[in-house]
A and B are shown apart, each in its own frame.
Chain A
Amino acid sequence: QVRLVESGGGVVQPGTSLTLSCVASGRSFSYGMHWVRQAPGKGLEWVAVIWYDGSNTYYGDSVKGRFTISRDNSKNTLYLQMNSLRVDDTAIYFCARDQESNYFDPWGQGTLVTVSS
Chain B
Amino acid sequence: ILTQSPDTLSLSPGERATLSCRASQSVMTYLAWYQQKPGQAPRLLIYDTSSRATGIPDRFSGSGSGTDFTLTISNLEPEDFAVYYCQQRSNWPPTYSFGQGTKLEIK
Judged by a CB distance under 8 angstroms, whether B94 is at the interface is yes
Residue of A34, A44, A58 touching B93 (CB-CB under 8 A)? A58
Distance of A101 Cα from B99 Cα, bound (Å): 18
Total number of A-B contacts with CB less than 8 angstroms?
62
Do A99 and B41 contact each other (CB < 8 Å), given the known contacts A43-B98, A43-B101?
no
- For B100, what are the chain A residues with a Cβ–Cβ distance below 8 Å? 43
Interface size class of B (residues with CB under 8 A): 20 to 34
Do A94 and B41 contact each other (CB < 8 Å), given the known contacts A43-B101, A102-B89?
yes
Output the nearest chain A residue to B100 by Cβ-Cβ distance: A43
Cβ-defined contact, B94 with A49, below 8 A: yes
- For A72, what are the chain B residues with a Cβ–Cβ distance below 8 Å? none
Cβ-defined contact, B101 with A34, below 8 A: no
Chain B: residues with CB nearer than 8 A to chain A?
30, 32, 34, 36, 40-44, 47-48, 53, 85, 87, 89, 93-101
9 A-B pairs closest in CB distance: A107-B41, A105-B44, A46-B96, A44-B98, A103-B32, A102-B89, A43-B101, A103-B47, A102-B30
